């Protein structure tokens, strides 16, 4: 008598004949000998960005057209495309800002949604992500409230564009916790979303001034300065 484990439902099956090939519980033919069985982990986590996956459920928020959620550690993280591990074995994400992660998340949105620009108008993107954008007489400088982003009407168009990108960063990166970690990440995300690094370098080669770059990308000179410094291109750009 051979004892097998069904990899589909986890049932322990006793096979009395070598001609038996199906699980007696679910009918699956995906059987493995008990000694060799390595149970499949369903709760996965990315050690790089902290994204968690329940492989038995579907998370529509991160599924694009033609894409599927991960089902095992053999699949990449849908947020940053790094490796997944069983959640029980995952390390705690670092408590310092993950600038590289934030910028890569912004690049992923550009790849997935083919945003037109610059300047990049993000209202349509927010809608595609399931968010509503409200512009009104708010006393704050922009905030994400559940699935709604509030932007103050008193802001200029450029300031509202950056504030919207910043709040999208909070949403896409699923921010929780210390402001000293999440706020810098949201700024890095917004900078890359509005001023992609490759486009910034090309624009600097064509017309290297803060004024022209701000006009081209539809942001303030302060936002351009942040992007230029992040790209280590400050010496190549004039006023």
pLDDT tens-digit series, residues 173-212: 989 878 888 999 999 999 999 999 999 999 999 888 999 9
The string of pLDDT tens digits covering residues 82-105 is: 777 777 666 655 667 889 999 999
Does 207 share its domain with 89? no
Does 51 share its domain with 154? no
Buried b (16+ CB within 10 A) or exposed e, 61-99: ebeeeeeebbeebeeebbbbeeebbeeeebeebeeebbb
Per the structure, how many domains does the chain have?
A: 3
| pTM of the predicted protein model | 0.63
* CATH number (domain holding residue 81): 2.20.28
Domain carrying residue 26: 2-36
The residue written with tokens 């905030």 in the block is: 143
Secondary structure, 3-state, 50-102: CCEEECCCCCHHHCCCCCCCCCCCCCECCCCCCEEEEHHHCCCCCCCCCHHHH
Question: What gap in Å lies between CA 199 and CA 217, rounded to an integer?
Answer: 10
* CATH number (domain holding residue 182): 1.10.10.2910
User: Which of residues 93, 108, 125 is at a domain's end?
Assistant: 93
Mean pLDDT over the full length of the chain: 82
Which pLDDT value is given to residue 210? Answer: 93
Does 103 share its domain with 207? yes
Pull the structure tokens for residue 83. 């490796």
User: Which of residues 93, 112, 127 is at a domain's end?
Assistant: 93
Does 79 share its domain with 152? no
Does 30 share its domain with 86? no
User: Which of residues 62, 77, 93 is at a domain's end?
Assistant: 93
Does 128 share its domain with 190? yes
Does 152 share its domain with 229? yes
Quick one: average pLDDT of 43-66? 62
Does 107 share its domain with 194? yes
Q: What is the CA radius of gyration of the chain?
A: 24
Does 220 share its domain with 119? yes
The residue written with tokens 């600097």 in the block is: 204
Does 126 share its domain with 232? yes
Count of beta carbons in the 10 Å neighbourhood of residue 218? 18
CA 152 to each of CA 140, 141, 148, 159: distance values in angstroms, whole numbers, following the listed order = 7, 6, 13, 10
Which pLDDT value is given to residue 87? Answer: 72
Does 80 share its domain with 131? no
Quick one: average pLDDT of 122-143? 94
Q: pLDDT category, 160, cuts 50, 70, 90?
A: very high
Which pLDDT value is given to residue 42? Answer: 63
Does 21 share its domain with 83? no
Question: What gap in Å lies between CA 91 and CA 220, rounded to an integer?
Answer: 39
């Amino acid at each position: 008598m051979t004892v097998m484990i069904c990899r589909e439902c986890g049932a322990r099956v006793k096979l009395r004949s070598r001609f038996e090939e199906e699980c007696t519980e679910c009918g699956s033919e995906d059987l493995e000998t008990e000694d060799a069985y390595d149970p499949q982990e369903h709760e996965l986590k990315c050690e790089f960005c902290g994204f968690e996956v329940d492989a038995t459920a579907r998370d529509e928020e991160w599924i694009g057209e033609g894409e599927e959620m991960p089902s095992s550690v053999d699949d990449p993280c849908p947020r940053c495309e790094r490796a997944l591990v069983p959640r029980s074995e995952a390390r705690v994400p670092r408590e310092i800002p993950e600038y590289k992660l934030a910028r890569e998340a912004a690049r992923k949105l550009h790849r997935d949604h083919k945003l037109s620009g610059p300047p990049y108008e993000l209202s349509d993107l927010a809608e595609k992500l399931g968010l509503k954008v409200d512009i009104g007489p708010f006393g704050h400088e922009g905030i994400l409230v559940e699935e709604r982003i509030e932007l103050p009407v008193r802001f200029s168009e450029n300031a509202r564009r950056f504030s919207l990108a910043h709040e999208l960063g909070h949403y896409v990166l699923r921010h929780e916790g210390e402001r000293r970690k999440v706020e810098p990440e949201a700024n890095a995300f917004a900078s890359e979303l509005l001023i992609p690094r490759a486009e910034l370098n090309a624009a600097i080669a064509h017309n290297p001034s803060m004024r022209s770059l701000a006009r081209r990308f539809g942001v303030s000179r302060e936002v351009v300065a942040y992007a230029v410094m992040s790209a280590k291109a400050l010496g190549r750009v004039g006023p």
